[in-house]
Amino acid sequence: MDISVQDITSVDKEIIISANREDLEPKFDEAYKKYKSQIQMPGFRPGKVPLNIIKKRFGDEIEQEEINKYVQEVFENEVIPEYEPVGETQMLDLSWENDELEAKFKIGSAPEVELADLSEIEVDRLVHDVTDEEVDEELNRILENQGNWETVDEEITEDCKVTVDVIHLDDDGEPVEGEKDEDQEIDLRKDEFKEFKDDLVGNKAGDEVDVEIGHDDHSHNFHLVIKKVQKPHKAKLTDEFAKQQTDGEAKNVDEFKSLIKSRIQNYYDQSADDLFKNDVIDSLVEAHDFEVPEVFLEQVKNRYVQRVAQQSGGELPADFDEEEYKENIKDRALRDAKWTFINNELQEKFDDIEIKPEDVDEYLQAEAARYGVTIDQMRNMFAQNPQQLESLRNSIREDKVFDKLKDEVKISEIDKDEYQEKYDEKVKAKEKAAAK
């Protein structure tokens, strides 16, 4: 038996396992003994079928099974300990000809990552204190959602909901036969209906208007018959309303407003943490230049494909083009792959990171509240799934890495308007780069 290695790139290798019949003969002999005692054929007592007949009838299948086992054993016992492959190993070829075995694999090896000077990494962090105006806006939204619609005989305004019959028109402005949609609701508060505003506002029930809706390089013409106009009738803000909306957590209107403000602030704080993590990853990936094993990159892409399947009920949509999808996400997958190796280096750098039982309990408590179960039920759920528990520990460890990074990198605190402006600039730059 021989194992040879050929470097494809600095992180991709081709492994060739070679062997001959002499190497495999002991395994073949053991296999034939096992099957000889099991195989039953007409004319022979159980376990008494001559070996030459077994080899003639079943030899190829038995030997191929042992060849596959042998290759797997050599890979697990010899290749993995020596080369520590990362990613999903690919078998390129397996041949057994003239009593000679050759098995080719493509494996990835972890790249050498030398951490950049973290003190030179610059990251923006969103900082926002919720204003009274934002609380009033959210409160107004709640009152509208908990209110009702009142049918009015008044002119349409931008906050109205309108019921119309929609008649499709051809290029000559004539009704298209059979294309009439009755009792369609248009909520002018929603962005999806903004193209209807100019034509509908100012009209009343019983009026008829023509509307032209443009899409890309063409447009569609419609004739709308206005049948009903509704205006929102907001719920009344009372202490009793505050109690109902918060299950008694707020006893009056003032406490309700304070609770709303607290929830909005928590949302911004959590969003700021998530955005900070994302920006740190982007900055660190940009600061490190190294190759990623192809097999590992393919593994990351496959995870994205699996998520699509999970979101579609367990199977990929019938018209899903997997190769096109993988091509579209290649930059995102490369970023994720590079972050995996950078994160590993950071965990080695921050070797004082410790996951305590209370860290796990804190996470389980949050998950239990999220799914409406007890913490003991959540704990048992994770205990029965070691892989899920290890994934949880990895998430906690990564969060602790980000906590450490807050003290290592340069952080510029900026308000939400400036953050949004910079974000828009990044998106435009990426779109421009992708278009080249």
- More confident site: 220 or 5: 5
* Sign of torsion over alpha carbons 188, 192, 197, 200: negative
Neighbours of 89 (CB within 10 A): 17
What is the per-residue pLDDT for 316? 93
- Span 214-218, mean pLDDT? 68
Residue 372 above 90 pLDDT?
A: no
Q: How far apart are CA 334 and CA 300, in angstroms?
A: 8
pTM of the model: 0.77
Beta bridge partners of 90: 106
Residue 435 above 80 pLDDT?
A: no
What is the per-residue pLDDT for 217? 66
What is the per-residue pLDDT for 49? 82
What confidence category does residue 301 fall into, taking pLDDT thresholds of 50, 70 and 90? very high
Q: How far apart are CA 288 and CA 296, in angstroms?
A: 17
Q: Which of 316-320, 366-370, 408-412 has the lowest mean pLDDT?
A: 366-370
All CATH 3.30.70.1050 domain ranges in the chain, comma separated: 2-108
Beta bridge partners of 105: 15, 91
Q: How far apart are CA 3 and CA 143, in angstroms?
A: 72
What confidence category does residue 436 fall into, taking pLDDT thresholds of 50, 70 and 90? low
- Span 313-338, mean pLDDT? 94
Fold of 149-233: Chitinase A; domain 3 (3.10.50)
What is the per-residue pLDDT for 273? 94
Neighbours of 401 (CB within 10 A): 19
Share of the chain above pLDDT 70, in %: 99
Residue 384 above 90 pLDDT?
A: no
What is the per-residue pLDDT for 241? 96
Q: What is the mean pLDDT of the chain?
A: 92
Residue 404 above 90 pLDDT?
A: yes
Residue 40 above 90 pLDDT?
A: no
Question: pLDDT per residue over 407-426, tens digit each?
Answer: 999 999 999 999 999 999 98
What is the per-residue pLDDT for 216? 59
Question: pLDDT per residue over 239-294, tens digit each?
Answer: 999 999 999 999 999 999 999 999 999 999 999 999 999 999 999 999 999 999 99
What is the per-residue pLDDT for 391? 85
What is the CATH number assigned to the segment(s) 2-108?
Answer: 3.30.70.1050
Which residue type does 297 have? Answer: L
Alpha helices in 96-206 (DSSP H): 132-145, 197-200
The token pair at 249 is: 């957590």
All CATH 3.10.50.30 domain ranges in the chain, comma separated: 149-233
Q: How far apart are CA 314 and CA 190, in angstroms?
A: 33
Q: How far are the Cα atoms of 91, 273, 382 from residue 360, in angstroms, in the given order?
A: 39, 19, 11
What is the per-residue pLDDT for 434? 72
Neighbours of 222 (CB within 10 A): 22
Q: Tell which residue, 93, 129, 111, 113, has the closest CA to residue 18.
A: 93
Question: pLDDT per residue over 95-147, tens digit each?
Answer: 999 999 999 999 999 999 999 999 999 999 999 999 999 999 999 999 988 99
Could you list the beta-strand ranges (E) of 269-427: 410-414
What confidence category does residue 161 fall into, taking pLDDT thresholds of 50, 70 and 90? very high
* Sign of torsion over alpha carbons 295, 300, 303, 305: negative
- On whether the CB atoms of residues 292 and 338 are closer than 8 A, the answer is yes
Neighbours of 276 (CB within 10 A): 19
- Span 69-98, mean pLDDT? 94
Query: If you ran DSSP here, which 8-state letter would residue 146 be given?
Result: T
- On whether the CB atoms of residues 160 and 227 are closer than 8 A, the answer is no
- On whether the CB atoms of residues 291 and 9 are closer than 8 A, the answer is yes
- Span 302-324, mean pLDDT? 93
- Span 10-26, mean pLDDT? 95
* Sign of torsion over alpha carbons 339, 343, 349, 350: positive
Alpha helices in 47-203 (DSSP H): 51-74, 80-83, 132-145, 197-200
- On whether the CB atoms of residues 152 and 229 are closer than 8 A, the answer is yes
Share of the chain above pLDDT 90, in %: 72
What is the per-residue pLDDT for 215? 66
Tokens 């609380």 identify what position? 135
